Structure 1
Amino acid sequence: MQTPNRQTYAIGDIHGHLDLLRGVHDLVAEDMARHGAGQVLHVGDLVDRGPDSRGVVEYLRQGIAGGQDWIVLKSNHDRLFTMFMDDPLASDPGLRSDLSWLHPKLGGGVTLGSYGVPNASDRPIAKVHAEALAAVPQEHLDFLTSRPTWHRANGAIFVHAGVRPGIAIEDQAEDDLLWIRKGFLDHEAPFEALIVHGHTAIEAPTHYGNRVNIDSSAAYGGPLSVVVVEDGAVFHLTAQGRVPLLP
């Protein structure tokens, strides 16, 4: 999962906001017109909370199938979705025991609503699951389950949530790559490479020296952000162009 040394565009947590995703892709296209082609990477959380999870999954799935140089990483919310579809009573080890994917805090009911399954958080789970099996295309589930958990390019490692310090990226546990906060966010020493991640919602992309968080809270009404990583430098890509993102 190593790409040639060229610019990588990393897009934060999408959470069902297809309109925001299209807008960010437009920014990327404009930047590529000025700086040359690059690879576009999405750190996951395609689904939950926002209005059009189905549209986001289909847009990215069709783009990749059509030859777009896009990478979509596996994330905790996307895994919660596919786990529910496999077994509605399954419990993800990264999720608090008092919560389920259909709890309003997680947003699974909104995701199923985008597939035409109404009021999923308020009805018997067996009925909801049966309707979901009939409504959610298998190609969407196959797409989400087959996503890679990390990607290395331009001197950086891209993951959804973060990494366990002291463990090579090839040996990281999927649960950590999709869920980790404690032990990663408070780690101040260098990692094996700059870590670019989402998962933990903040106001704007932030460079911490050893990691860059690009989840700017699209799930909660914030913008969807994209950064450019090129030759070790990081830029926040805005409507006005590239803005250096410094530690």
Structure 2
Amino acid sequence: MQPIFAVGDIHGQIDELHKVLDQIDADDAAGSTVVFCGDLVDRGPDSRAVIDTLMQGQADGKPWVVLIGNHDRYLLRYLEDAAFQDPQTSRPLYYTDPPIGGDKTLRSYGVDTQPSRWPEDVQADAREAVPQAHRDWLAALPRIHETDDQIFVHAGLRPGIALGDQVEDDLLWIREPFLSDRTDWGRLVVHGHTALDRPQLYSNRLNLDGGAGYGRPLVPALLFGDETFVLEGRGRSRL
């Protein structure tokens, strides 16, 4: 039984990411696998630095697993189609609309996103500015990660559907009926996507989206068998 760290939605908050990595490095279980549950980009000020940091960590051989989130996929689809609107959103939204926060991601790459500019021109600049290495890395990120004790995914799982039959839109976007369901998946489902004030443990799942995309702290978790801790301040707190 190996300890494993997990980190929720980062949303371009590079300072919070560095803080979390320092907390993990200071923990007794440092060196264990760290799973990042997606939504690396959008809303925060420096999505480019977040991607650079995670890519470099993996290149340096750190045991980091990074999942793709719905915002990460939205960036990729925007770069192919400036008018793309993901039908999974609650209402029609373009990638650069404030609720999505893609404009902040593009600015982190040096793209001028002033509303007075033609959307096609903004997208053309974005295609030049976002390195192909970043695009390839994002596109190759896994949608799910399994261990003996946990199932890691960005948004959740659709109840009544076998794990191997889950579809990508649900893995990246689902809220209900997953959030209110109490299905025992045989392992703890660790996810983000639905922002809370802080991580919350339920009978069958752990929601790690503490709202970093809205300016709240990024709080990592440490999972060890059936024990769950968060790292805050100077040490661990049991959930």
TM-score between the two structures when normalised by the length of structure 2: 0.96
Cα deviation, 1:109-160, whole Å, max 9, x if unaligned, reads 1100000002255521110111111111000011111100111124110110
1:7 to 3, 8, 27: 3
Instruction: Indicate the SS of the match to 1:35.
Output: coil
How do 1:35-184 and structure 2 match up within 5 A?
A: 35=29, 37-119=31-113, 121-184=115-178
1:219 to 197, 210, 213: 213
Identity percentage over the alignment?
45
Instruction: Specify whether residues 12 and 93 from structure 1 end up closer, same or farther in structure 2 by C-alpha distance, changes over 3 A only.
Output: same
Segments of structure 2 that go 5 or more residues without pairing to the other structure are none
| Alignment partner of 1:28 is 2:27 | no
Provide the rounded CA distance (Å) in 2 between the counterparts of 1:87 and 1:192: 40
4+ residue runs over 4 A deviation:
none
Provide the rounded CA distance (Å) in 2 between the counterparts of 1:15 and 1:70: 18
Residue range with higher mean Cα deviation, 6-15 or 149-158: 149-158
Residue range with higher mean Cα deviation, 114-123 or 77-86: 114-123
Provide the rounded CA distance (Å) in 2 between the counterparts of 1:113 and 1:219: 16
Instruction: Specify whether residues 95 and 121 from structure 1 end up closer, same or farther in structure 2 by C-alpha distance, changes over 3 A only.
Output: farther
Instruction: Indicate the SS of the match to 2:145.
Output: strand
Q: CA deviation at 1:46?
A: 0.6
TM-score between the two structures when normalised by the length of structure 1: 0.93
Aligned Cα root-mean-square deviation (Å): 1.4
Segments of structure 1 that go 5 or more residues without pairing to the other structure are none
1:206 to 195, 200, 206: 200
Partner of 1:229: 223
| Alignment partner of 1:187 is 2:181 | yes
Give the partner amino acid of 1:110: K
